[in-house]
Amino acid sequence: MEKYTLIVTEKPNAAQRIAKALDSQGTPEKVEEDGVPYFLAHRDQKLVVVPALGHLYTVVHERGRRNYYPVFNFKWAPRYSAERRAKQTRTWIEVISRLASNAENFIAACDYDLEGSLIGYCLLKYACGDKEGVAKRMKFSTLTKNELEKAYEEPLSSLNFALIEAGRTRHEVDWLYGVNLSRALTLAAKRWSGRYATLSTGRVQGPTLKFLVGREKEIRSFVPTPYWSIRSEVKIKSSVYEVEYETKTFEKKANADAVVEACKGKTGEIETIEVRKLRQKPPIPFDLGKLQTEAYSLFRYTPRRTSGIAQRLYLEALISYPRTSSQKLPPTIDYRAILKKLKKKTVYKKLASDLLRKDELKPVEGKKEDPAHPAIYPTGNMPERELSEPEKRVWDLVVRRFMAVFGEPAIKQSMKASIVVNGHRFYLRGRRVLKEGWTRFYKPYIRAEEVLLPTIKDGQKVSMKQVMREDKFTKPPPRYNPSSLLQKMEEEGIGTKATRADIIETLYSRGYVAEERIVTTDLGFDIADVLSKYCPRVTSVKFTRELEEKMERIQTNSEDRVNVLVEAVSQLKPVLEELKEKEQAIGQVLSQAIKRARMQERLIGNCPDCKTGKLMILYSRKTRKRFIGCTNYFKDICTTSFPLPQKGTAKPAQKNCKGCEWPLVFVRMRGRRPWMLCFNPKCPLKEERRKRNEMQSLQKGN
């Protein structure tokens, strides 16, 4: 059989793009073996490009039962041997192994980061039979034809073993903490109550939950205090403008009333006018964190959703590799070539043309640098398929940010006029744009509004149109949202650019937090309290950050993997000993918390009939059918009940119906879009819908 070079990639989409770029005709042959696709390409020799499905290997307990801890003996094994839902990975490994047996050369072409390096290493070592030492490495930041050809023609002579060691260590340390602490919590609850419920925590999850609990405690213990402010307006010519009083807040109501009394209905005089020009620099390029923050702010996409969208755009060769912490754009990406490609799209034509007329293209850059990849930028390629609306938005955001970093500073003018009324001072503020600069490239995503003022001069008289006292109360600190929590994790140096969004999603899926403005649940409080009481080190930001820093030093060969693992185990052992010693007390606390959480998950709202009971999702003992019933039913006080769909999942929506104000139920059913169900049979919206349907039926009949 003809020998060939085997190129291993991370995912099927990437394999197809790499094969197409490297095939001399651009038409590689697709082969499918036992449901596993791979591609045959011809260049200077025969190439076989085969994809993985992300991680095909994982860390597992080397031997022993699953229902005990501590466990410190681990090994790397195929995912199908450890995860029930990963059975298909057996076939993928078998196909890759067969292809490796006839290959004479090996190339790793997975994403050039911790995860991609580790995926390629595991494939070459375990599936290909210890080929990690002889394989070459393709390094690229985009899946464009030119860059992939260059990465193939000029490969790295070997894998980046420092990056691989750092990736291995991170997975192993996370496994040690995750499996031991999660088992400790889960088994404590099960042994006390006899019922199983999955509980988890980990090296990053614990400190992240601690942030949220700390903020929730601040909010719940916050006592609002009253204060007063002045709301005022002036009339200049025929227009009315809002002005602000020199003292923003008053601790005494009488002082605010004195201002109102002294200024209401009076005429003021413009004493001074201060005009300033401000230069606003262009924004810096996107790293993953900044892209996630901006997409949440503009579109309300969660960090995990943005990461997923960006990954799809990368696989479509529309943007560069998104999992980067770099805020720099090196000249080697060829700014002009990208802009010339973008110019082909009508919406970008004028903007790209204006930038191309510049003598020099020099981007504004941030401080952070990633040795593996530059900041996120568009490749200039146009979509080969119809993008979804979220994909269009994120792609457009990346394109416009890229163009904006080459723009000129925006010049803005601010004006502040001081108005004196009966010895009191008010300020009239205005702002306008003198030169758009970079903002015209980023315009759809600019939030600043102009406040244009009329022509005014010193000594000009103005009449006070309105002066009134406003009664206010101090507010607690704001709750985190997924974006601000991700920023907090980044600031504190815990987690990685690739894992932070998943940690946040895990907190939601475990039921520790809820809602967009993140509220810590009772279960989340109890988990955090147990960890803080019995193993405070696990929730320590300082401890987690130090571990992160050591694992990062492995990438530069300034720290040893074994030392990091030994230290992690030595720190973990006493924590687990204390958890085991206090297992009964911990189990009782957690079991009661789980019981309350399960009850809360079924609670719909107040009963509209008896007014004293609660409506909740119940199950009939006879038929096992679910329905909504009143808790007073068990006290023989109320018999209120309502039917529910029997298929799919149903849970409280935490919202009320706009038509009748009854609580809504969120229903999700396979094959249908989720919907909000109002179970009030007399809801006016239902009556309107019924009449509308009757009218449509009559019209069709005519």
Catalytic residues: 321
Rounded distance between C-alpha atoms, residue 335 and residue 285, angstroms: 13
| Separation CA 441–CA 438 (nearest Å) | 6
Token duo for residue 116 = 């991609």
CA–CA distance, 635 with 223 (Å, rounded to integer): 38
Distance CA 475, CA 158 (A): 58
Residue/partner pairs of 246-252 with CB below 8 Å, 24 or more apart: 246/424, 246/425, 246/426, 246/427, 249/472, 251/227, 252/228
Contact between 282 and 406 under an 8 Å Cβ cutoff? The reply is yes
Q: Are 644 and 626 in contact (CB under 8 A)?
A: yes
For 24, other C-beta atoms within 10 Å of its C-beta total: 10
**Phi and psi, residue 94, nearest 5°:** -65, -40
What is the torsional sign of CA 74, 98, 86, 482? Answer: positive
Cis (ω within 30 of 0) for the bond into 226?
no
Any residues with CB less than 8 A from the CB of 254 and at least 6 apart, and which?
none
How many angstroms separate the CA atoms of 364 and 100, rounded?
A: 46
Cβ-contact 448, 438 below 8 angstroms: no
- Closest alpha carbon to 100 in 77, 119, 125, 128: 128
Residue 93: burial class (beta carbons within 10 Å; 0-12, 13-18, 19+): buried
Q: Give the side-chain half-sphere CA count within 13 A for 491.
A: 8
3-state secondary structure of 641: strand
For 49, phi and psi rounded to 5 degrees?
-105, 115
C-alpha distances in angstroms, 692 versus 408, 657, 683, 688, 696? 56, 19, 15, 6, 6
518: which DSSP letter?
T
Decide: 114 and 167 in contact? Cβ < 8 Å: yes
CA distances (Å), origin 193, targets 186, 200, 526, 586: 11, 17, 16, 11
User: Bridge partners of 642?
Assistant: 628
> Amino acid identity of 295?
A
Backbone angles phi, psi at 108, to 5 degrees: -90, 125
Cβ(649)–Cβ(633) below 8 Å: no
Residue with tokens 């140096």: 493
Nearest in space to 457 (alpha carbons), one of 244, 274, 243, 270? 270
Cβ atoms of 680 and 662 within 8 Å: the answer is: yes
- CA R_g for the chain: 31
Shortest CA distance to 179 belongs to which of 82, 55, 57, 53?
82
